[in-house]
Amino acid sequence: MEADGFVRRRRMTAETTGNDPGVAGASAGAEVRWLGGRFWGVSETIVGSLSPRIGGETELQAVDFNRSAQDAQTEDSEPDYEGLPQGASTSTHMWAGAVAGIMEHCLMFPIDCVKTRMQSLQPAPAARYRNVMDALRRIIATEGVWRPMRGLNATAVGAGPAHALYFASYEKLKKTLSDAIHPGANSHLANGTAGCVATLLHDAIMNPTEVVKQRMQMYNSPYRGVMDCVRAVWYKEGPGAFYRSYTTQLTMNVPFQALHFMTYEYLQELLNPHRQYNPSSHMMSGALAGAIAAAATTPLDVCKTLLNTQESLTLHSLSPSQGPGQGQGQGAHRQISGLAHAFRTVYRLGGLPGFFKGVQARIIYQMPSTAISWSVYEFFKYGLTKHQNDKRRSQ
């Protein structure tokens, strides 16, 4: 039992220092009630002991074993580290999520640029690449070393608040739904549902950012910078252009995030059953969850990219279908709108393989991306929670 292991660990500590049984008993009791059995082992392993090691051999006499077991059992029924730790505020999850989102998108941005280009249905001859590394080499050689980073500032501005809401809402809903569906235990249904709701908030912020980012990533992009792209889209296509792909984005991201969170939590049960802070398990679970979810939702991502970029070569290739009798003004405003229209266009120009254009780049992007996101998020969540708990103890 965890409480038994905790008492045995305190015996080993007690044999080394101190001689005051009264102080030792009070301190040990407070530690059992505050931390519980599991979090103590984590703090000793990762960041050292959260409290001074005090007490003597007679310390165990002052600790009532039954009370310790009861307190530890009570702690088990409360939110643990992976849920919403006692004393951790929503702002903790928001700060941790914001940092994780910014780092994830910034570190993986060159691969994201390649993915966008490889999903193009009608690429220019100079923008046809064999694989991810070939694309990176050719982009840098022909367009400059900073070309794969165009649009990064727009992504960083949107990723912070988007991921803050994303992780905070996920943690809160996961805890609330898990208590309602399966009190005291993990619920895959709660994880998936919480991920879906979190995605609605995340995509509402990130969708305009995605439009600007992907238009600047395309080959021969006509925009000088982020603000030039925003102004051009606003005046030529209207504000609705920033949310033209929102329903497609949700159609893709809701199953993506549901599968992603369910896979991540399932792998955590296998690799990290005690739900301790374990960087390797967070990284491995995040990478595998991202790869599986990315491969399954690639067709929707291809449609989303088409709606966001409105590729000029693709639009020109569709022009014969408009017929010679249509007016010039109507042809000038021709656009691909809606998920059904995007699906038909992809199938017409690329067939079934067209729905999996860029799948290699998407998986290569998502695996390290989700691994970085979860690792950074769990690290900052752990650090901020520990800081709050230390501050509370000192008061």
pLDDT of residue 374: 92
Q: Is 236 a member of any domain?
A: yes
Q: State how far the Cα of 22 lies from the Cα of 18, in Å rounded to an integer.
A: 11
Structural domain includes residue 261: yes
Q: Per the domain annotation, does 197 fall within a domain?
A: yes
> Is the residue at 131 inside a domain?
yes
Structure confidence at residue 124 (pLDDT): 84
CB neighbours (10 Å) of residue 144? Answer: 11
- Residue 84 in 3-state DSSP? coil
Q: pLDDT tens digits, residue range 17-36?
A: 444 444 444 444 444 344 34
Q: What is the pTM of this model?
A: 0.64
Q: How far apart are CA 33 and CA 30, in angstroms?
A: 5
The alpha carbon of residue 343 and the mean position of all alpha carbons in its chain are separated, in whole angstroms, by 27
CATH of the domain at 208: 1.50.40.10
How high is the pLDDT of residue 309?
A: 79
pLDDT at 126: 86
Residue 165 to residue 204: CA distance in whole angstroms: 10
pLDDT at 314: 66
User: Are the C-beta atoms of 263 and 293 separated by less than 8 Å?
Assistant: yes
Alpha carbon distance 157, 116 (integer Å): 19
Q: What is the pLDDT of residue 102?
A: 94
Per-residue pLDDT of the chain in tens (395 residues, 90 and over written 9): 444 443 344 444 434 444 444 444 444 444 434 434 443 343 344 334 333 333 443 343 444 444 444 444 444 443 344 443 444 578 888 999 999 999 999 999 999 999 889 888 778 888 889 888 999 999 999 999 999 999 999 999 999 999 999 999 998 998 889 888 888 777 888 888 998 999 999 999 999 999 999 999 998 899 999 999 999 999 999 999 999 888 888 888 888 988 998 999 899 999 988 888 889 999 999 999 999 999 999 998 888 888 887 766 666 666 554 443 444 344 444 677 778 888 888 888 888 988 998 888 899 989 999 999 999 998 988 888 888 888 888 87
Single-letter residue type at 108: M
Residue 273 lies in a domain: yes
Whole-number pLDDT of residue 82: 45
pLDDT tens-digit map of 139-184? 999 999 999 999 999 999 999 999 999 999 998 998 889 888 888 7
Question: For residue 73, what are the contacts with CB-CB under 8 A and spacing of at least 6?
Answer: 3
Which runs of consecutive H residues, i.e. helices, occur in the chain? Answer: 2-14, 21-46, 59-62, 65-77, 90-107, 109-118, 132-143, 152-181, 188-217, 226-237, 246-271, 279-296, 298-309, 312-317, 328-332, 339-354, 359-394
Place of tokens 């392993």: 45
The structural domain count of the chain equals 1
Q: Is residue 168 included in any domain, yes or no?
A: yes
390 inside domain: no
pLDDT number for residue 395:
79
Other C-beta atoms within 10 Å of 350: how many? 15
Residue 174 lies in a domain: yes
Q: Would you give the DSSP letter of residue 106?
A: H
Residue-number span of the structural domain to which 349 is assigned: 90-315+335-379
DSSP assignment string, 334-395: ----SHHHHHHHHHHHHHHHHTTTTHHHHHHHHHHHHHHHHHHHHHHHHHHHHHHHHHHHH-
